[in-house]
Amino acid sequence: MKRLSSLKELAGLRQSIATVRDTKKQVVNICGGTGCIALGANDVIKAFNEEIAARGLQDKVDVRVSGCPGFCERGSILTIEPQNIFYQRVRRKDVAELVQATLIDGKTVERLLYPDLTTGKKVIREAEVPFYTKQKRVLLAHSSRIDPQSIEDYLYFGGYAALSKALSAMKPEHIIDEMKASGLRGRGGGGFPTGRKWETTRHAHGDIKYVICNCDEGDPGAFMDRSLMEGNPHSVLEGMIIGAYAIGAHEGYIYVRNEYPLAVKNARIAIEQAEEYGLLGDNILGSGFNFHVKISRGGGAFVCGESTALMASLEGEVGEPRAKYVHTSEKGLWDRPSNLNNVETWANVPQIINNGAKWFAGIGTAGSKGTKIFSLVGKVRNTGLVEVPMGITLREIIFDIGGGIPGNKKFKAVQTGGPSGGFIPENLLDLQVDFDELTRVGSMMGSGAMIVMDESNCMVDMAKYFVTFLMGELCGKCLPCREGMKQLHYLLTRVTGGLGTIEDIALIESLCSTMWDTSLCGLGYSAPNPVMTSLKYFREEWDAHIDEKRCPAKVCKPLITYNIMANCPNCGLCVKACPVQAITPRGKKEPVVLDQVKCTRCGSCFDVCRLDAVLVK
Amino acid sequence: MVKLTIDGRQTEAKEGAMVLDAARALNIYIPTLCAHESVSAYGACRLCTVDITTRSGRNRMVTSCLYPVEEGLAVKTTTEKIAAHRRMLIQLLLARCPESPELKAMAKKLGADDTPFPKEDPAKNHNCILCALCTRACDEVVGQSAISFVNRGVAREMAIPFYNDSDACIACGSCFYICPTNAIQMTDKNGKRRFVMPHNTMEFELAQCAQCGRYHLPKRQIAWMAKKSGQPLEFFARCISCREEVRL
C-alpha cells in the first residue's frame, strides 16, 4: 500500500479502485453486525464461502461482510447485487438454495423475501420495504454496501472526499463557519451546537488540544453508536480528522467500551488503514497537517459516557464527573482544551462538508437539523436501527417504520433518550421529534434509544426499573444522586409493593426536584425524568397502586395473584413448570390447585398454559 | 479583581476565586460539609448550592465551592427553593448517618428536625458521609493516598486497599483532623496509635522521645518527615518540645 502524499494521489487511487471494480459481478452483502451475528450470520457467511467455492463461482461472485442495515428484527439480512434483492431471516440451511436459485439461475427465493406486514405481499427491493421507505438514510446510507474493514470500499463510495475538500479548499475558520451554519447539534444527548463547541476549543488558550470521540454508549436498548462504529468506522474517523484540522488539534482519542469488541476491532483496523494511506498521521495528504488517533477502551461504566468522567477515565483516573463550570473545551483532558463529540456527531461532519451546510440545514426542524439515528426496541414489531429526519412524529417512527405493537396489544408509552429519559404517552404521539420538543414534554433526545411499551407494562414498575439501573451505575460522588437514588428506589419499591401512601408521592416529588437542581452531572439531574413523567402522564396507575392496592397492568408481584380457572383439564404443564411446587393435581379432568402461600408469582404457569386457564388478578 | 454582588452587597474578589470564598469574606453563612481550605474543591455535599444570575441574564443554581467569580455576577446565597433543597440534602444525610451529632446540629440549623426517610443502621456507615475530605487530605496534603474510595455508586465506601493494613499510611492523622463528622477516631495509648476507620481498624507504633521519654510521633511519620525534609532520622529522635528547648 503506497502512502498518499497529495490530494491528486488520493483522486488517482479512488479512480483506480473504481476501474478495477467489476460492477457486473454479483456481490452477496451479508450483514456482519453484532445483531445478525447473534442470529447466526457467521454461519451464513461461512456457508456462502464454502458453497461458492464448491461450485467454482469465485470469479463470478463476491461475498462481502457489510455493516448493519438496521433491520435487526429480520436478521440475518443479505442483499444481492446487482439484482438488488433483499433477503431476510436467512439461516445456514438456506444458503445452498440461494446460491443455486439466485446466483446461478437468476431467480428469487420467494420464502426469504420480506412479507409486508399488512398485505402479506412479498417485497423484493430493500427500498420498498416499509421499514425503509419513511427513513432518510444519510449516515447509514452505505453501511450495508461497505465492508467496514476495507478502506477501499469506503473510498469507492466517496470516502475521504470531504477531507480532501477541507484540506484543499477550506480554512479551519471556514469549516467552523460551515458547521455553525449547518445547525448540527451534538448527538450524544446534550444537543450543544457542534460548531460553537469547535470554535470555543479552537480559540481556547493552549498549544496542545485534543479531539475525542465518545463511543461509550451504555444505555439499555441503545446501539446507534456501536452500529455506526462497527459498520462504517471510516466515516467517524474522517469526521474526527476534519474536526481536528478545524480546531487545531493533533491528537485524538476514540473512547470505546470494551464490551463492543467488534467496534473496537473495526475502529482499530480503520485507524491502521488510514495511517498506511497517509490519511492519518504526519503530513496528511501532503498538507503539513498532523493528526494521530489512539483507541482507549472503557471498562463498561455507564457514567463514563459523561464527558468529564470519560476524560477522567482517559487519564487513568476513576471515572467520576466533575463540575463543568469551566468547560472541557477550555480545560478538559489533562486540563487542556478538549473537544468531545459522540460517534454520530463525528459521522455527520463529512456529510456536511461534502454537501454543504445549506443542504444539511434543509433537513429537520427550526431548532434541530439533519437526521437522527434511533434504536427502536421494546414492544414494537420491527426492532432495529432507524435513521429519520428531525421533525418526524413519534407515531410515524413507531407505527409506520416500527410496524406498531406486536400481539394486538395497545401502545402505552415510549421512552426516548435512554434510562433517564421520560415516558411519552399516547396523546403525545404526534409530537415532532427534535431536541426541544422532547425536552418540553419532560423527556430528552439523549443518544437516541427509543423503548416502546405496551399495555402489559406497569409504568410505576418501569420507573422503578430505570431507577434500579441508574442506582447500579451512578458513581457515588455527589450526595443528591447517591443517597437520593437510594431513597427513590425505596419509595418506588413501597409503591409497587402496595405500601405506598399519598405522602410518599409528595416526598418523591420534592426529592426529584432536589436531584434535578443540585446533582453534579447529567446522570443525577436527569435521573428523575422517568419517575416524574410516569407521575405526570400515568397518575391513575399510581393511584391504583396506592388507593386500591392494585396494579392495573398486572405486573407488580405483591399486588397480583395467579388463579386456576374451571376450564383447567389437569394437563400437568403448569405442575411441571412451577419452580416452587405450588401447584398440585387433584385428579383426572379436575382443575389443579394453586397454593397462594407458596406461589412466588413468577408467571411460569401463565406462560405455559395453552388454554388460558390461568388468570391474573 | 472581579466585581460581583452577593445577596445585594457589592464586593470584589480575586480572579479565579470561588463564590463561596467571596461570600465568606463578607461573613455570609453558606453551609458546607465537604469544603476545606487545605484541599481542592470537590462538590460532593451540594449544600453550598446558590442561585446565580450572570451578566448576560442566565439564571441557575450552582455549587458555590466550585463556581469561579465572574464580573457582574449576582449571587443569592439563599432562596426558599435553595433552603428546601438544603433541608432535603441534610435529611438524606440524616437517613444515612442518623446518630451523628454534627449532622443533627446542622439539620437543626437548616430547619429540618428529622428525616422522612428510613434510617440506616448506624453501624453500617459509622457516620461517614463520603465527603472525600480525608481522601483529599491524604492525597493532596500528605501525598500518600493511603485511603480512597472503594466500590461504585450506592455501595461506595471510604477505606484502605482491600480493607487491610495500609503500607502507605504514615499514621499522621490528617484524615482524623479533617473529618467533619468524626467518622474517623484516633487514640494514642500505651505507645500505640490506633485508628478506628468506618470499615477497618489500624494500629501503629509511636516513637519515644530520646530526651523526655514521652511518646510523640508515629514511627512511620518520622520516617516520612525525614525523607521529605532531608533531615537525618536522629533529628527526630527527640520530641518537638525538647528540640525547642535546646534552640532556646
Q: What CATH number is attached to the domain comprising A110?
A: 3.40.30.10
**A84 and A212 part of one domain:** no
Average pLDDT over residues B186-200: 94
Among A322, A471, A479, A510, which would you mutate to test the B interface (most chain B Cβ atoms within 10 Å of its Cβ)?
Answer: A479
**A185 and A274 part of one domain:** yes
Residue A202 has pLDDT above 90, yes or no: yes
Nearest to B154 among A486, A518, A519 (CB): A486
Decide if B12 contacts B2 (C-beta within 8 A). Answer: yes
Average pLDDT over residues A33-61: 93
* Residues from chain A contacting residue B132 (CB–CB below 8 Å): 477
Quote the number of domains for chain A. 5
Among A483, A502, A511, which would you mutate to test the B interface (most chain B Cβ atoms within 10 Å of its Cβ)?
Answer: A483
Of all residues in chain A, the one with the smallest CA distance to B60 is A517
Model confidence pLDDT, tens digit, residues A101-144: 999 999 999 999 999 888 889 999 988 999 999 999 999 998 88
* Residues from chain A contacting residue B117 (CB–CB below 8 Å): 487, 490
Of all residues in chain B, the one with the smallest CA distance to A482 is B154
Cell representation of residue A50: 464454502
- Per-residue burial over A577-594, b = 16 or more CB atoms within 10 Å of its CB, e = otherwise: bbeeebbeeeeeeebbeb
* Residues from chain A contacting residue B81 (CB–CB below 8 Å): 517
Query: Closest Cα of chain A to B45: distance in Å?
Result: 5
Where does A356-451 have alpha helices with state H? Answer: 357-361, 394-395, 435-440
Nearest to B46 among A471, A473, A478 (CB): A478
Nearest to B46 among A325, A326, A518 (CB): A518
Domain boundary among A429, A454, A479: A454
Report pLDDT for A75: 83
**A430 and A570 part of one domain:** no
Residue A273 has pLDDT above 60, yes or no: yes
**A353 and A385 part of one domain:** no
Residue A281 has pLDDT above 60, yes or no: yes
Domain boundary among A519, A547, A575: A547
Whether residue A318 and residue B63 make contact (CB cut-off 8 A), yes or no, is: no
Q: Which run of H or of E encompasses A412?
A: strand A411-416
In a domain, A291, yes or no: yes
In a domain, A137, yes or no: no
Whether residue A474 and residue B96 make contact (CB cut-off 8 A), yes or no, is: no
Task: Please give the Cα distance from A67 to A156 (Å, whole number).
Answer: 15
The sign of the dihedral angle between the CA atoms of B23, B25, B30, B31 is positive
A316 in contact with B, Cβ within 8 Å: no
Decide if A231 contacts A275 (C-beta within 8 A). Answer: no
Report pLDDT for B247: 61
**A306 and A410 part of one domain:** no
Of all residues in chain B, the one with the smallest CA distance to A468 is B154
A471 in contact with B, Cβ within 8 Å: yes
How much of chain A exceeds pLDDT 90, in percent? Answer: 88
* Residues from chain B contacting residue A476 (CB–CB below 8 Å): 130, 149, 151-156
Report pLDDT for A588: 81
Report pLDDT for B162: 85
Query: Closest Cα of chain A to B134: distance in Å?
Result: 14
Task: Please give the Cα distance from A349 to A235 (Å, whole number).
Answer: 8
The partner residues of A252 in beta bridges, in order of sequence, read A211, A293
**A200 and A252 part of one domain:** yes
Residue B246 has pLDDT above 80, yes or no: no
**A337 and A269 part of one domain:** yes
* Residues from chain A contacting residue B118 (CB–CB below 8 Å): 490
Report pLDDT for A71: 93
Of all residues in chain A, the one with the smallest CA distance to B45 is A479
**A285 and A171 part of one domain:** yes
Which DSSP string corresponds to A515-531?
A: HHHH-SSHHHHHTTHHH
HSE-CB of A508 using CA atoms within 13 angstroms: 29
Whether residue A486 and residue B67 make contact (CB cut-off 8 A), yes or no, is: no
Report pLDDT for B221: 96
Whether residue A518 and residue B62 make contact (CB cut-off 8 A), yes or no, is: no
Model confidence pLDDT, tens digit, residues B222-237: 999 999 999 999 999 9
Cell 483507541 locates to A295
Of all residues in chain B, the one with the smallest CA distance to A504 is B116
Model confidence pLDDT, tens digit, residues A484-530: 999 999 999 999 999 999 999 999 999 999 999 999 999 999 999 99
Whether residue A476 and residue B130 make contact (CB cut-off 8 A), yes or no, is: yes
Report the CATH number that the domain containing residue A279 is assigned in CATH: 3.40.50.11540
* Residues from chain B contacting residue A326 (CB–CB below 8 Å): 68
Compute, in degrees rounded to 10, the torsion defined by CA atoms A487, A493, A494, A496.
150
Query: Closest Cα of chain A to B211: distance in Å?
Result: 46
Nearest to A323 among B43, B61, B156 (CB): B43
| A189 band by pLDDT with thresholds 50, 70 and 90 | confident
Decide if A495 contacts A545 (C-beta within 8 A). Answer: yes
Q: Give CA separation, A186 vs A197, A198, A302, A372, in Å.
A: 9, 11, 19, 11
Which DSSP string corresponds to B168-180?
A: S-----HHHHH-T
**Phi, psi for A185 (deg, rounded to 5):** -115, 145
Instruction: Please tell me the total number of residues recorded for chain A in this structure.
Output: 617
Compute, in degrees rounded to 10, the torsion defined by CA atoms A264, A265, A270, A275.
90
Residue A291 has pLDDT above 90, yes or no: yes
* Residues from chain B contacting residue A520 (CB–CB below 8 Å): 43-44, 46, 63
Residue B248 has pLDDT above 60, yes or no: no
Report pLDDT for A1: 65
**Phi, psi for A69 (deg, rounded to 5):** -80, -10
Decide if A374 contacts A386 (C-beta within 8 A). Answer: yes
The sign of the dihedral angle between the CA atoms of A322, A325, A328, A331 is negative
Query: Closest Cα of chain A to B61: distance in Å?
Result: 7
Of all residues in chain B, the one with the smallest CA distance to A477 is B44
Task: Please give the Cα distance from A527 to A471 (Å, whole number).
Answer: 9
Query: Closest Cα of chain A to B35: distance in Å?
Result: 13
Whether residue B44 and residue A478 make contact (CB cut-off 8 A), yes or no, is: yes
Of all residues in chain A, the one with the smallest CA distance to B97 is A483
For B2-78, CATH number out of 3.40.220.10, 3.30.450.20, 2.60.40.10, 3.10.20.740 equals: 3.10.20.740
* Residues from chain A contacting residue B52 (CB–CB below 8 Å): none
What range does the domain containing A40 cover? 23-129
Report pLDDT for B245: 73
**A431 and A479 part of one domain:** no
Among A470, A514, A516, A523, which would you mutate to test the B interface (most chain B Cβ atoms within 10 Å of its Cβ)?
Answer: A514
Residue A418 has pLDDT above 90, yes or no: no
**A340 and A241 part of one domain:** yes
Task: Please give the Cα distance from A349 to A178 (Å, whole number).
Answer: 10
Report chain B residues touching chain A, CB-CB < 8 A.
42-46, 49, 61-63, 66-68, 81, 84-85, 88-89, 92-93, 95-96, 116-118, 129-130, 132, 149, 151-156
Of the candidates B131, B113, B120, B114, which has an alpha carbon nearest to the alpha carbon of residue B97? B120
Report the CATH number that the domain containing residue A491 is assigned in CATH: 1.20.1440.230
In a domain, A111, yes or no: yes
Query: Closest Cα of chain B to A487: distance in Å?
Result: 7
Query: Closest Cα of chain B to A479: distance in Å?
Result: 5
First to last CA, chain B: 44
Of all residues in chain A, the one with the smallest CA distance to B49 is A518
Nearest to B44 among A479, A486, A487 (CB): A479
A488 in contact with B, Cβ within 8 Å: no
Nearest to B66 among A325, A471, A484 (CB): A325
A325 in contact with B, Cβ within 8 Å: yes
Decide if A397 contacts A391 (C-beta within 8 A). Answer: no
**A603 and A531 part of one domain:** no
Whether residue B44 and residue A507 make contact (CB cut-off 8 A), yes or no, is: no
Domain boundary among A421, A454, A487: A454
The mean predicted confidence, pLDDT, of chain B is: 94
Of all residues in chain B, the one with the smallest CA distance to A475 is B153
* Residues from chain B contacting residue A519 (CB–CB below 8 Å): 46
Residues 6+ apart with CB under 8 A from A540: A552
What count of CB pairs under 8 Å joins A to B? 94
Q: Where in chain B is the domain with CATH 3.10.20.740?
A: 2-78
Chain A segment 388-427 residues within 8 A of B by beta carbon are none
Of the candidates A341, A346, A317, which has an alpha carbon nearest to the alpha carbon of residue A329? A341
- Per-residue burial over B190-218, b = 16 or more CB atoms within 10 Å of its CB, e = otherwise: eeebebebbebebebebbbbeeeeebbbb
Report the CATH number that the domain containing residue A407 is assigned in CATH: 3.10.20.600
Residue B51 has pLDDT above 80, yes or no: yes
Of all residues in chain A, the one with the smallest CA distance to B44 is A478
Average pLDDT over residues A302-311: 94
**A381 and A338 part of one domain:** no
The mean predicted confidence, pLDDT, of chain A is: 94
Query: Closest Cα of chain B to A423: distance in Å?
Result: 25
